Structures are given as C-alpha cells and as structure tokens.
A = this chain, B = another copy of it.
Amino acid sequence: MSLFQIIHFKRIADERGALVALEQHKTVPFEIKRVYYCTGLNPKFERGFHAHHQIQQLAVCVTGSCVMVFDDGVTREEFRMDSQDKGVLIPPMMWHEMKDFSQDCVFLVLASDVYDEADYIRDYPTFVQLSTQLRKSDVYSPAK
C-alpha cells in the first residue's frame, strides 16, 4: 500500500481560465484552520523535514511541480506533484520532505489546525522512535 493518499479535485476550465475549489468535509477531509502558500522555491534547497503529532494537511502544486517524499519510519516513498487537480494528504506521524521545485511552483497547503510548534517533530531519530512505539502499541494493544 502506498504511503500517499491522492485526492482528485474537480477542475472547471474554459477559455476564461481554470478554477479548482476545495471544501472542508467534502474535498478536504478536515476543518480548514490554516492555509499557507510557498513561492520562489529554490531547487537547490529541500524543505519540510518534519512530521506532525496531530495536524493533517492537504498539499497541492497549484502551478509548476515538485517532488514530495513520505517516510513512515519504515518505508520511504517519492511522489511527483505536477497537477493542480491532484492533492496529497499528509497524515499525522508522516515524515515529509519537498524537493526539485520548478521555477513556477506555487505550493499550497491546507491544514487542520493553526500553527503550534509543539505539534512538530523535527528530529528524524525521535520520529522513528515515536512511530515505532505507536506501531507496536497499535499491533499489540488488547483493545484492537
């Protein structure tokens, strides 16, 4: 099973241009409390390098392209984002990195909560340790 959950958006296009609309609890499987966009992304640098404890996110390249890397602590997988009608869900406890930005890349993210530094895991060994613990508790919990 892929680490990536792709969400396809409806794109309405005619001679005037294109429009993509994302609605909470419909296209977006959470309440949208934060929206952020990145531009002028330098392909010499990679971004991300963190996971979230709780926050869910939906990412899309509105224009241009980049490569997203997902890592659940065991498997590592890459996905090329190059379509404005295709988003990627970033679930909690998923280490993610972004790279190979095209010059025209506009990277848009919708998040399920406002910024909270305490929700970030920025140290990779800590992330692997936490995800291993969670995996064990998930497998061995008598309640499951």
Contacts and interface: CB of A to CB of B under 8 A. Distances in A.
Given A17-B41, A32-B33, 6 more contacts: A16-B41, A17-B42, A19-B36, A19-B37, A23-B114, A32-B32
Given A16-B47, A36-B20, A37-B84, A106 B42 contact: no
Contacts of A42: 15-17
Interface of A: 13, 15-24, 26, 28, 31-42, 45, 47, 62-63, 84, 101, 104, 106, 108, 110, 114-115
Copies in the complex: 2
A62 B37 contact: yes
A18 B39 contact: yes
Across the A-B interface, the 3 shortest Cβ-Cβ residue pairs? A17-B41, A21-B36, A16-B45
A78 to B, nearest CB: 19
A134 B35 CA distance: 33
Given A17-B101, A23-B115, A26-B114, A62 B39 contact: yes
Contacts of A21: 34-36, 115
Most B-side CB within 10 Å, residue of A34, A35, A45, A47: A35
A98 B133 CA distance: 52
A22 B35 CA distance: 5
B47 A34 contact: no
B34 A23 contact: yes
